[in-house]
Amino acid sequence: MLGVGYREDFQLYRGRGCDACSQTGLKGRVALHELLCGSDEMRNLIQNRAKTTEMQCLAEKEGMVTLVQDGIQKILAGLTTYEQVRTVAMR
């Protein structure tokens, strides 16, 4: 789903924090992105007022990366933390 396989040396990172970063261990900002590309099939679903679940299934089939998936990829890359992604992308 995320294109990331399990590895024995898997490790999540967490910054130590300091006064300059208010003890978050983060510097600057990292954007999370979600983009829905408008294929002919998707356009047809929208024009015919299809159910949201149908559109979501098609979007996933066509390779859409959701906000949460993008966040997880950035967590695994050491760019942000689970707590930060949870705050902005998970309900």
**Residue 3 confidence class, pLDDT cut points 50, 70, 90:** low
Q: What is the pLDDT of residues 9-42, one digit of tens each?
A: 777 777 788 888 888 888 888 999 998 888 999 9
What sign results for the dihedral spanned by CA atoms 5, 75, 77, 12? negative
User: Mean per-residue pLDDT for 62-68?
Assistant: 91
For the chain, what percent of residues have pLDDT higher than 90? 43
pLDDT of residue 61: 94
Q: What is the DSSP letter of 56?
A: H
Q: Rounded distance, CA 3 to CA 20, Å?
A: 35
